Structure 1
Amino acid sequence: MNYKSFWHLQNNHSEIISESIEMPNSDKIEISSLYSSISLGTETIVSQGKVPPSLHEKMAVPYMVGSFNFPIKYGYSLVGTNNNGALIHVMHPHQTTCWVEEKDCFVCSEQSDPILATQLANMETVINAIWVSDVQPNQKVLVCGLGSVGVLLAETLRGYCQAVVYVKEKDEGKVAILAKNGFTIAKETDAFTLSFHVSTSEKGLQYCIDHAAEEGKIIELSWYGNHPIQLNLGGNFHYNRLQIISAQVSAIPLIKKNSEDFFSRKKLAEKLVHTIPIRDYISLIPFEELPYFFNHKINTNFITVVKY
Structure 2
Amino acid sequence: MTNSETPIHATAYWTTAKEHGELRAEEMAAPGPGEALVRALYSGISKGTEMVVHAGAVPPRVAEEMRAPHQEGEFPAPVKFGYLSVGVVEEGPEGWKGQRVFCLNPHQDRYVLPVESLTRIPDEVPSRRAVLTGTVETAVNALWEAGPRLGDRVAVVGAGLVGGMVATLLRTFPLQRLQLVDLDPGRKQLADSLGVEFAQPDDALADCDIVFHCSASQEGLERSLQLVGDEGDVIEMSWYANREVTVPLGEDFHARRLSIRASQVGMVARARRHRRTNADRLDLAVSLLRDPIFDAFLTGSSRFEDLPDVVQNLADGSLQALCHVVEYPGSSPAPSPATDNNENLR
Which TM class, normalised by the smaller chain length?
A: over 0.9
Given candidates 3, 16, 22, the residue that maps to 2:10 is 3
Identity across matched positions, percent: 28
Determine helix, strand or coil for the equivalent of 2:171.
helix
Q: 1:13 aligned to 2:20? A: yes
Q: 1:239 aligned to 2:259? A: no
Determine helix, strand or coil for the equivalent of 1:305.
strand
Contact map agreement 2:157 2:215 (CA 8 A) in 1: yes
How many corresponding residue pairs? 306
- For residues 114 and 180 of structure 1, the distance between their equivalents in structure 2, rounded to whole angstroms, comes to 21
Letter in 2 for 1:270: V
Query: Could you tell me how far 1:158 is from its partner in structure 2?
Result: 0.6
Name stretches of at least 5 consecutive residues in structure 1 with no aligned partner: none
- For residues 162 and 302 of structure 1, the distance between their equivalents in structure 2, rounded to whole angstroms, comes to 27
Contact map agreement 1:76 1:92 (CA 8 A) in 2: yes
Q: 1:118 aligned to 2:131? A: yes
Letter in 1 for 2:286: E
Letter in 1 for 2:133: L
* Structure 1 stretch displaced more, 51-60 or 180-189: 180-189
- For residues 230 and 83 of structure 2, the distance between their equivalents in structure 1, rounded to whole angstroms, comes to 38
Q: 1:292 aligned to 2:309? A: yes
Aligned CA-pair RMSD: 1.9
Instruction: Sort the Cα spacing of 1:264 and 1:23 in 2 relative to 1 into closer, same or farther, 3 A.
Output: closer
CA displacement, residues 48-105 of structure 1 (integer Å, 9 cap, x when unaligned)? 1111112121111222121103111100121100022110111110011111122211
Query: Could you tell me how far 1:189 is from its partner in structure 2?
Result: 5.9
Given candidates 56, 62, 72, the residue that maps to 2:63 is 56
CA displacement, residues 158-194 of structure 1 (integer Å, 9 cap, x when unaligned)? 12x2333201112232223324643222344621221
Name stretches of at least 5 consecutive residues in structure 2 with no aligned partner: 1-7, 91-96, 329-346
Q: 1:283 aligned to 2:299? A: yes
Instruction: Sort the Cα spacing of 1:109 and 1:142 in 2 relative to 1 into closer, same or farther, 3 A.
Output: same
Letter in 1 for 2:20: H
Query: What is the match of residue 133 of structure 1?
Result: 146
- For residues 141 and 290 of structure 1, the distance between their equivalents in structure 2, rounded to whole angstroms, comes to 37
- For residues 272 and 307 of structure 1, the distance between their equivalents in structure 2, rounded to whole angstroms, comes to 23
Query: Could you tell me how far 1:3 is from its partner in structure 2?
Result: 2.4
- For residues 85 and 214 of structure 1, the distance between their equivalents in structure 2, rounded to whole angstroms, comes to 53
4+ residue runs over 4 A deviation: none
- For residues 213 and 30 of structure 2, the distance between their equivalents in structure 1, rounded to whole angstroms, comes to 43
Contact map agreement 2:133 2:285 (CA 8 A) in 1: yes
Letter in 2 for 1:190: L
Contact map agreement 1:13 1:295 (CA 8 A) in 2: yes
- For residues 204 and 191 of structure 2, the distance between their equivalents in structure 1, rounded to whole angstroms, comes to 20
Query: What is the match of residue 190 of structure 1?
Result: 205
CA displacement, residues 241-299 of structure 1 (integer Å, 9 cap, x when unaligned)? 11101112321122212322223222221222223721122123222332222223245
5 Å-filtered alignment, 1:146-295, equals: 146-159=159-172, 161-163=173-175, 164-179=177-192, 181-186=194-199, 187-188=202-203, 190-191=205-206, 192-275=208-291, 277-286=293-302, 287-295=304-312
- For residues 299 and 192 of structure 2, the distance between their equivalents in structure 1, rounded to whole angstroms, comes to 19
Contact map agreement 2:101 2:120 (CA 8 A) in 1: yes
* Structure 1 stretch displaced more, 284-293 or 198-207: 284-293
- Output the TM-score relative to the length of structure 2: 0.83
- For residues 116 and 170 of structure 2, the distance between their equivalents in structure 1, rounded to whole angstroms, comes to 31
- For residues 220 and 75 of structure 2, the distance between their equivalents in structure 1, rounded to whole angstroms, comes to 27
Contact map agreement 2:299 2:324 (CA 8 A) in 1: yes
- For residues 126 and 22 of structure 1, the distance between their equivalents in structure 2, rounded to whole angstroms, comes to 34
Contact map agreement 2:142 2:235 (CA 8 A) in 1: yes
* Structure 1 stretch displaced more, 57-66 or 202-211: 57-66
Contact map agreement 2:222 2:247 (CA 8 A) in 1: yes
Contact map agreement 1:156 1:276 (CA 8 A) in 2: no
Query: What is the match of residue 337 of structure 2?
Result: none
Query: What is the match of residue 113 of structure 2?
Result: 100
Determine helix, strand or coil for the equivalent of 1:277.
helix
Q: 1:24 aligned to 2:30? A: yes
- For residues 119 and 125 of structure 1, the distance between their equivalents in structure 2, rounded to whole angstroms, comes to 10
Instruction: Sort the Cα spacing of 1:136 and 1:76 in 2 relative to 1 into closer, same or farther, 3 A.
Output: same
- For residues 226 and 218 of structure 1, the distance between their equivalents in structure 2, rounded to whole angstroms, comes to 21
Q: 1:143 aligned to 2:160? A: no
CA displacement, residues 102-154 of structure 1 (integer Å, 9 cap, x when unaligned)? 22111222333212221111111111110111102332211111111111110
Contact map agreement 1:209 1:236 (CA 8 A) in 2: no
